[in-house]
Amino acid sequence: MQNDSIKTLVLFIACLTVPLAMVVSGERSAATRLAEASDEASEVPIASAADEGYCSPQLKSIVRRVAGACGLLGDGGRGCKPADAKNVAAMSGDDFNALFSPLAERAHIIQFDPENTSLDPKAMSEVEQVWAEKGGASFFFVVSRASKDGNADQNTQLSQDRAQAVMSHLQSKFPGDEDLKRVGLLWLGADYAQLGQEFCDWKRSRKGEPCTVKDINRSSFVAWIDCAI
């Protein structure tokens, strides 16, 4: 009778031990698979924009809207005209310009002659220099303007042609560069977000030459921007 009790106890313990061993083994296998999966994932490069110090929530919002509405030129030429730009920005011209103030060391201003939309040699060199500074940045903005001389339609056309002149030079200088799809164009004419005299102190293609408010607004503001959106 005593032997039967011992056998029953041993069988009971065995019944408990086998499932427990299976659970422990399963957990160890799952942990191993998870670790292997984590190692594999860590080896896969992840492409994403970084948030630089200038990436305020407002600037990120503008980048997001421009990316959606004004370009990132997958089709080779879309952009935003003044009325569209106001809607995209959804803020005053002064507030729009203030967003870019932290980019003073990164942005360049490409200047044009009055009523002219051609890049001179200095402008071509400046555009190429900015393009070479992309690093890991995600978006290239070209924001073109005109001075207040002339009528609104003429100024809109001038600013559009100036933006396209920058784009055309990039396309001819760097044919086949996949990063050309990262370019977003805005042409603002003279009706929205005019630059103030202080922008004459920024990096510009005619550095050292006299600079007035009219001079600085006959321009294309160009910069690589690296903001996660």
Q: Which helix (H) or strand (E) holds 183?
A: strand 183-187
Give 101-122 pLDDT, tens digit per residue: 888 988 999 999 999 999 999 9
Q: How confident is the model at residue 227 (pLDDT cuts 50, 70, 90)?
A: confident
Question: Is residue 197 within 8 Å of 212, Cβ to Cβ?
Answer: yes
**What dihedral do alpha carbons 154, 217, 192, 133 form, nearest 10°?**
120
**Percentage of the chain modeled with pLDDT above 90:** 43
pLDDT for the residue numbered 185:
87
Q: How confident is the model at residue 89 (pLDDT cuts 50, 70, 90)?
A: confident
Question: Is residue 179 within 8 Å of 134, Cβ to Cβ?
Answer: yes
Q: What is the DSSP letter of 53?
A: T
